[in-house]
Structure 1
Amino acid sequence: MSQTRIYLPLTAAGLRALAKSREAGPAPVAAYAVTSRLERDNPADLAEEELEHAAFTEAAEAAFALQGNEIGKRVIAAADVDPASVEPDGTRDETSAVTVSEPVPLRRIVSFHLDETAGDTGLDDLLWYDATELDEVLRLL
């Protein structure tokens, strides 16, 4: 079965809720993924990996915006979900904005990305954690 990789920007509270309820939601869930709009707005010779990086970048920017006036660590969860549940979101400006029509179960999450230091904004500042390391990610918040 094919899957669509999505990126979920989360706050610290959102990550704690995910850990407790074992799903990101309720639906619809705002996320980022490779969309036809993202593909149209980039050179035709970009590899799928580069398009995914562009979607991840928009998710990282959204994670920063979710913090509001608080200085914290950005959190992005990467998940593989059923493509039928993912639709482009025309209500947001980002070219990779999508909505997921159902909550995203923790078992569908493949990795977490967390800033090394609160207030970081660069992509190089995001550390990668396997989904099995959720407790460690929570500890680092």
Structure 2
Amino acid sequence: MTPRPGALHRIYLAAGIDGLDRLLQHGELQAPGFIVTDAMRAADERADEEDLEYEALLAAEDYLRQREEVAVVVAADVTPAEIAAVDRAAAGADEIEDEAISAIVPRGRVVAVHVPEPGAPANEELLWFDVSELAEARRVAAEAAHP
């Protein structure tokens, strides 16, 4: 990732229900997250930022589904300083390609929550909830977990 000084970056955190509970109870969340990387931009030069952010959202969703967790994805805007690579040393450079990263995100940086619709097939798009609707998002996520 090549950070733009002072710029905010949208991160999609693979929170699951437990992460959403931590956000509600403690006011912050630390979870594997996915952002638009330079490698993603290079792979599809015609894609706009919104398309690339959607790919990052899907990566967070896939991360949770592979672990058989409810696909609760928290979207937040963070600065480059708030992002820490999970294993930057193993990557051998500052460039993070398709790896999950970790960020501790305070509730004030959260902009939205995406949760599955109860009873919908796994390949359906996630529902979108504004940050002011965290409790409702948690209720819907619980319904999706126990149809």
Shared fold (TM-score greater than 0.5)?
A: yes
1:130 partnered with 2:111: no
- The aligned counterpart of 1:105 is 106
Q: How many residues align?
A: 130
Provide the C-alpha distance between the structure 1 equivalents of 2:119 and 2:20, rounded to a whole number of angstroms. Answer: 15
- The aligned counterpart of 2:72 is 75
1:50 partnered with 2:55: no
Provide the C-alpha distance between the structure 2 equivalents of 1:45 and 1:134, rounded to a whole number of angstroms. Answer: 34
Look up the equivalent residue of 2:127 and give its one-letter code: L
Provide the C-alpha distance between the structure 2 equivalents of 1:111 and 1:5, rounded to a whole number of angstroms. Answer: 11
Alignment of 1:1-141 (within 5 A): 1-25=6-30, 29-40=31-42, 42-67=43-68, 73-87=70-84, 95=98, 97-100=100-103, 103-117=104-118, 120-124=121-125, 126-140=126-140, 141=142
Identity within the alignment, %: 30
Work out whether residues 113 and 129 of structure 1, in 8 Å CA contact, stay in contact via their aligned partners in 2. Answer: yes
- RCO comparison, higher one (Cα < 8 Å, 6+): 1
Give unmatched runs, 5+ long, in structure 2.
1-5, 92-96, 143-147
Work out whether residues 79 and 111 of structure 1, in 8 Å CA contact, stay in contact via their aligned partners in 2. Answer: yes
TM-score normalized by structure 1? 0.79
Cα offset, 1:121, TM superposition: 2.1
Shift in CA distance, 118/65, structure 1 to aligned 2, threshold 3 Å: farther
Cα shift readout 1:6-61 (whole Å, capped 9, x = no counterpart): 00011212211111010002xxx420000112222x22111111111111110110
Look up the equivalent residue of 1:11 and give its one-letter code: G
Runs of 4+ in structure 1 over 4 Å off: 87-92
